[in-house]
Amino acid sequence: MGLHKLRKMHPATILLSSYLLAIGTGTSLLLMPCATVSGNISLMDALFTATSAVCVTGLVVVDTGTYFTLFGQGVILILIQLGGLGIMTVSVTIFHLMRKSVSFRQRMAVQDVFAHTPREDIYHLLKAIFCFTGIAELIGATLLFVHWNREYSWTKALYMAVFHSVSAFCNAGFSLLSNSFMDYRGEMLLNLTICALIIFGGIGFPVIYDSYKTTFQRHERRSKLSIQTKTVLITTGILIVFGMFIFCGIEKNALLQDETFNESMLASFFQSVTCRTAGFNTVDIAALNNTTLTFMIFLMFFGASPGSCGGGVKTTTLAVLGAFTWSRLRRRIRVNIFKKSIPKETVTKSISLVVISIGLICMLFFLLLLSAPKESINGAGHGQFLAYLFEVVSAFGTVGLSMGATAEINNWGKFLIFLMMLIGRIGVLTFSYVIAGTEPVKGIEYVEENIMIG
């Protein structure tokens, strides 16, 4: 593709193309004999793994720690880091460091991801993103090294620490351990470190940047937190606390009945944090109560925050929908949050995003059921329904949690999950822009006539 054509591409098309290029490159590297222990991996499994890594999802069809060599695991780790930061973020930064010209559309592609309002200091924001990512992952790796150094040699402990620190901050959910962190359910240091990395990676770089400027700038230049930052922080906090108590309340007499109070709360906190974005687990997901699994689907659907490493329809969308519902119940036209009115276009986009996302999930869920083998996952006849729905929403939210369906699906099912992971990472609206275009079409207007609703 020529440079001229690249400059004329819409930012949404550039974003999608960059992810497809990274996935294609990662697939090719994983297909190399030196990437796997056996020296062989199917094309679909390599594509699925590369997509899951670039889209920071964490759904796996083969065990990462035993199936791949150090080279293969290194490829996965690089793909996770690229996917977490965003392919366009890395590309624009490299071009800027090489003093190469960056097109306006490329900068717009980055700004659409990391800024809720137009800004001139996009390069300062990118610098802050890289600095914060490096510092967070370094601190996380250090704390995890302290934990694993008691169990492994210092070289393996360091490798484990770096891999899981990057995977956690990027909300990827990839683990070198076959059962994730189920063997460390009561380890306070590991659990809190992983949770902290997930939270900081999931609240969004714009929120971190805004919080930093507000806290550390000189008093005469200090600005107030934006509505975006306030909304993300409060909504995230509510979802984490609410999710923790719901999880503990449902499972305290079931999966957590043999655990102490502190262990139960720690496991509940960990799952509340990880099931919205990351995909690590300290409990057996397939053994959870159906009520718990249904609630986790809700958390996975809304996912992380805009401009972050996570997917889903985002916490701000949930906040806008909540504010919209409250304003309508009070018979008010405008939607207000923190004494600021939200633009009508933003409210409309939020509603459209949720409706399109639900429709997309239903369609791919139906197709996945059609492609499923006749025997159910757990042999109970209808065990596929909840397991496959959980799988589809997990892929959409780029979460990576699974009830075991990933290993059961055929190549057609893997392709459907591949599509869902890609759409979930780049965003439903961005994907729709690529297909339908961004220019609004007025269409034909006819005489109005009312219909009954509700």
* CA atoms of 234 and 187, how far apart (whole Å): 28
Q: What is the mean pLDDT of residues 70-93?
A: 81
Q: What is the mean pLDDT of residues 85-105?
A: 54
Domain regions of the chain by residue span? 3-436
What confidence tens digit (pLDDT) does each residue in 228-274 have? 899 999 999 999 999 999 999 999 888 888 888 899 999 999 999 99
pTM: 0.88
- Closest CA relative to residue 270, chosen from 260, 279, 257, 259: 279
For the cut 50, the answer to whether the pLDDT of residue 1 exceeds it is: no
- Closest CA relative to residue 166, chosen from 250, 82, 62: 82
Contact (CB, 8 A) for 197 and 168: yes
* CA atoms of 102 and 210, how far apart (whole Å): 25
Contact (CB, 8 A) for 163 and 176: yes
Work out the mean pLDDT of the chain and round it to a whole number: 84
Contact (CB, 8 A) for 313 and 302: yes
For the cut 60, the answer to whether the pLDDT of residue 173 exceeds it is: yes
Q: Which residues contact 240 (CB under 8 A, 6 or more apart)?
A: 199, 269, 272, 273
* Residue 211 pLDDT grade (very low, low, confident, very high; cuts 50, 70, 90): confident
| Residue of 156 and 406 predicted with greater confidence | 156
What confidence tens digit (pLDDT) does each residue in 370-403 have? 887 665 444 444 567 888 999 999 999 999 898 8
Per-residue pLDDT at 115:
52
The DSSP bridge partners found for residue 341 are 336
Per-residue pLDDT at 378:
46
CA atoms within 13 A on the CB side of 42: 8
Q: Which residues contact 162 (CB under 8 A, 6 or more apart)?
A: 77, 137, 141
- Closest CA relative to residue 322, chosen from 243, 394, 242, 231: 231
**Residue 52: exposed, middle, or buried by beta-carbon count in 10 A (0-12, 13-18, 19+)?**
buried
Q: What is the mean pLDDT of residues 349-359?
A: 91
Q: What is the mean pLDDT of residues 168-189?
A: 91
Per-residue pLDDT at 249:
93
For the cut 50, the answer to whether the pLDDT of residue 177 exceeds it is: yes
Per-residue pLDDT at 440:
58
Q: What is the mean pLDDT of residues 130-154?
A: 93
Contact (CB, 8 A) for 304 and 204: yes
* Residue 17 pLDDT grade (very low, low, confident, very high; cuts 50, 70, 90): confident
Angle between helices 411-426 and 428-436 (to 10 degrees): 100
What confidence tens digit (pLDDT) does each residue in 301-347 have? 998 888 787 888 999 999 999 999 999 998 888 999 988 899 988 89
What confidence tens digit (pLDDT) does each residue in 24-51 have? 999 999 999 999 999 999 999 999 999 9
For the cut 50, the answer to whether the pLDDT of residue 111 exceeds it is: yes
* Residue 276 pLDDT grade (very low, low, confident, very high; cuts 50, 70, 90): confident
Per-residue pLDDT at 98:
47
Per-residue pLDDT at 89:
62
Contact (CB, 8 A) for 310 and 171: yes
Per-residue pLDDT at 381:
47
State how far the alpha carbon of 301 is from the alpha carbons of 65, 123, 125, 206, 350, in Å.
Answer: 28, 32, 28, 21, 14
* CA atoms of 361 and 59, how far apart (whole Å): 17
Per-residue pLDDT at 132:
87
| DSSP string computed for 357-390 | HHHHHHHHHHHHHHHS-SS-SSSSSSHHHHHHHH
